[in-house]
Structure 1
Amino acid sequence: MTNFTRRQATGFVAAAVAGFALAPSAAMALNEASAKKLVDALVDEINKTIASGKSEQGMYKDFERIFAKYSDTSYIAAYAMGNDGRRASGAQKKAFSREFQKYISRKYGSRFREFIGGRLEVNSVRPVKSWYEVKTTAFLRGESPFTVTFLVSDRTGRDKFFNMFIEGINLLLTERTEVGALIDRRGGNIDQMIADLKKAG
């Protein structure tokens, strides 16, 4: 599997997975068992979507729903916008977050064919500072298995994943670079970048 294909795979899983929102965790702090439960549920939904046989458009909608359900979308979007977020208005941040979620789903959902017939399996969980690292293995047809790692926290009051890695490829850094390039092409105009984001992916 080439590095480019692995980057596609990274993003695709991210898109499908990006939102770890289970029930509010006010009564139970995040722990190893709840972090694993979150990723288990996420992986289960991804696998079901991959195997559903739905049309591309139907899968995009499922991936967007999964993204919104399991990831800390506000954190991921804010990180992707980077320092430009400091000068963005509240309305611009809200619009960017909304369009970024759709963009991620389109961008990586369109590569779903690479995962048809494949699956993800949860392997291990370990605490890291204030979050948990959950490692999974991705199995694709005709390819060597590779590691997909999710970082899970409950900073929002719910268990959610806020970043992921595939063989060293970092979702947050990748998307910050790409969003930054969109902003640069528009001379720093945030509204135009958001408009471009609607068509990107």
Structure 2
Amino acid sequence: MQSSIPRRHALALLAATSAAMPVASAWAVDARTQARAFVTMFGNKLVAIVNSDIPLEKKKADILPLLGQYVDVDAIGRYCLGRYWRTATPDQQDRYLKLFHQVLVNAITDKIGDYRGVTFVVGSSAPAGDDTAVSTVINRPGQPGADTQWIISTTSGSPKVVDVVGEGASLRLTQRQDYSSFIARNGGNVDGLLHALDKQIANHH
């Protein structure tokens, strides 16, 4: 049905509405646009390495700088330790973050060999608390498309990945639940987790 509002009145109404919108809304839209552009850039770099014909070890080496530059590993690590981050000593925090870095790198690089011919499509973006969630669909030959959300934060001063949500499950939340349960079962001492992570790294092939 056609609107009965005269065009000049409609334009005036639109202008008034826009003027009344809080500045934060404009910033939010800009942040979502930047987050989508960031995911497109980062995703294209990852896909280029994964789909290349270079040896697997070279792929792993090439991905490491990208993880350091575009993933806020420290923020993820602190989140995963949950409330135990506040009870850990500075030495325990330092040891934990170093171990977490290696565990995360191993988890990511171990899967690179399973992916070839990957493509991805960047979809919409939306606020996720103080962060921005960017939806993507990751396609692999012979596999159904995987709906994945990248959670992007600018807390560090530049856009960085702080979580990945696949099939409705947050990777960092799942990891935090695992770590919290492990520490609770071991008397609430962070040292038990540090020992387990150290052992996990030592046994990694």
* Structure 1 and Structure 2 fold alike (TM over 0.5): yes
Match of 2:37 in 1: 37
In 2, Cα distance between equivalents of 1:76 and 1:134:
17
Paired AA for residue 102 in structure 2: K
Q: 58-67 or 133-142, which moves further after superposition?
A: 58-67
Q: 123-132 or 145-154, which moves further after superposition?
A: 123-132
In 2, Cα distance between equivalents of 1:52 and 1:194:
36
In 2, Cα distance between equivalents of 1:60 and 1:186:
34
In 2, Cα distance between equivalents of 1:66 and 1:128:
23
TM-score (norm 1): 0.74
Q: How does 1:145-184 map to 2 (within 5 A)?
A: 145-184=145-184
In 2, Cα distance between equivalents of 1:145 and 1:125:
18
Match of 1:67 in 2: 67
Going from structure 1 to structure 2, the CA distance change for 1:128 and 1:195 (only over 3 Å counts) comes to closer
Shift of 1:181: 4.8
How many residues are aligned here? 174
Question: Which stretches in structure 2 are left out of the alignment for 5+ residues?
Answer: 1-26
Asked which structure has the greater RCO (Cα within 8 Å, sep 6+), the reply is 1
In 1, Cα distance between equivalents of 2:129 and 2:179:
28
Question: Which stretches in structure 1 are left out of the alignment for 5+ residues?
Answer: 1-27
Match of 2:84 in 1: 84
In 2, Cα distance between equivalents of 1:91 and 1:180:
19
CA deviations on 1:22-73 (whole Å, 9 max, x unpaired) are: xxxxxx9962221112111210121022123344443333343322211222
Paired AA for residue 90 in structure 1: P
1:131 aligns with 2:158: no
Paired AA for residue 45 in structure 1: K
In 1, Cα distance between equivalents of 2:91 and 2:197:
16
CA contact (8 A) 2:60 2:112 kept: no
Shift of 1:84: 1.5
CA contact (8 A) 1:63 1:105 kept: no
Secondary structure class of the residue paired with 2:164:
strand
CA contact (8 A) 2:56 2:113 kept: no
Paired AA for residue 71 in structure 2: S
Percent identity, aligned pairs only, is 22
CA deviations on 1:107-130 (whole Å, 9 max, x unpaired) are: 232122332222222122233443
TM-score (norm 2): 0.73
Shift of 1:87: 1.4
- The structure with the larger Rg is 2
In 2, Cα distance between equivalents of 1:84 and 1:73:
17
In 2, Cα distance between equivalents of 1:50 and 1:68:
17
